[in-house]
Amino acid sequence: MYRQLTGLTCGSDLDSCEAEGHEEEHEEEEEHGHGHGFDQVLFEQRNATFYGVELLGEYDVGSVWRGTWGFDGQYDFVHAKFDNGEYVPRMPPHRLGGGVYYRDSTWFARVGLLHAFEQTQVAPDELTTPGYTLLNAELAYVVKTQPGPSGFAPTMLIGLKGDNLLDEQVLNSASFKRREGVLESGANVRLFGSLRF
């Protein structure tokens, strides 16, 4: 079961999707601020064959400072076709990545690259998407608190995470919006935290 775009643009109700000349009407409404265009999506069911691979691994190289450093890597892909030989819509591309990390009892740091290859295995009327490479980094610190009356000490994790630090232009092959040229987020850094009781 999958969601499929019909190619129709609708107004505020389903009847507007079927009206003749609806695209021109909605364009005129949007120009005058009287409406919004929505892509019509239908759920369909067809027989299909899926196969794929997801590999993740890490290797601790040795001790450094107060902890351990090492390498990690990943590779994944999905291949899916309907019984008639057409590709299933919005398949993710092959992805290959790896990084170097350091961890000890209080600190964790990692820098890594993830490359997504060009996606050319697309359904009819879909656009191919170019490859891209993401540079990501993370730095986290564990704050240990004093035990309470129960003898249990909550643990707080705080850190910084940066994604797409090379500010690559990313068209997501699994997104409906890629046909409109809508890109994924550019370079961004966020502060995060969690408290475990």
Where residue 19 falls among pLDDT bands split at 50, 70, 90? very low
What mean pLDDT do residues 102-107 have?
96
Residue 180 neighbours by CB under 8 Å, 6+ apart: none
Q: What percent of the chain has pLDDT over 90?
A: 64
Backbone angles phi, psi at 181, to 5 degrees: 75, 20
Domains held by the chain: number? 2
Residues 23 and 56 in one domain: no
Three-state SS letters, 52-104: EEEEEEEEEEEEECCEEEEEEEEEEEEEEEECCCCECCCCCCCEEEEEEEEEC
Residues 112 and 142 in one domain: yes
* pLDDT recorded at residue 110: 98
Residues 173 and 98 in one domain: yes
Residues 182 and 164 in one domain: yes
Residues 33 and 102 in one domain: no
Residues 190 and 98 in one domain: yes
Residues 69 and 37 in one domain: no
* pLDDT recorded at residue 36: 56
Residues 97 and 160 in one domain: yes
HSE value, Cβ hemisphere, 13 Å, CA-based, for 87? 19
* pLDDT recorded at residue 78: 97
Residues 7 and 98 in one domain: no
* pLDDT recorded at residue 23: 47
Residues 76, 168, 101, 143, CA torsion sign: negative
Residues 153 and 185 in one domain: yes
Residues 133 and 165 in one domain: yes
Residues 34-93 pLDDT 10s: 445 788 888 999 999 999 999 999 999 999 999 999 999 999 999 999 999 999 999 999
The rounded distance, in Å, linking the Cα atoms of 93 and 130 is 10
Range of the domain at 114: 48-196
pTM: 0.81
Backbone angles phi, psi at 99, to 5 degrees: -165, 180
Residues 105-157 pLDDT 10s: 999 999 999 999 999 999 988 889 999 999 999 999 999 887 777 777 889 99
Residues 4 and 55 in one domain: no
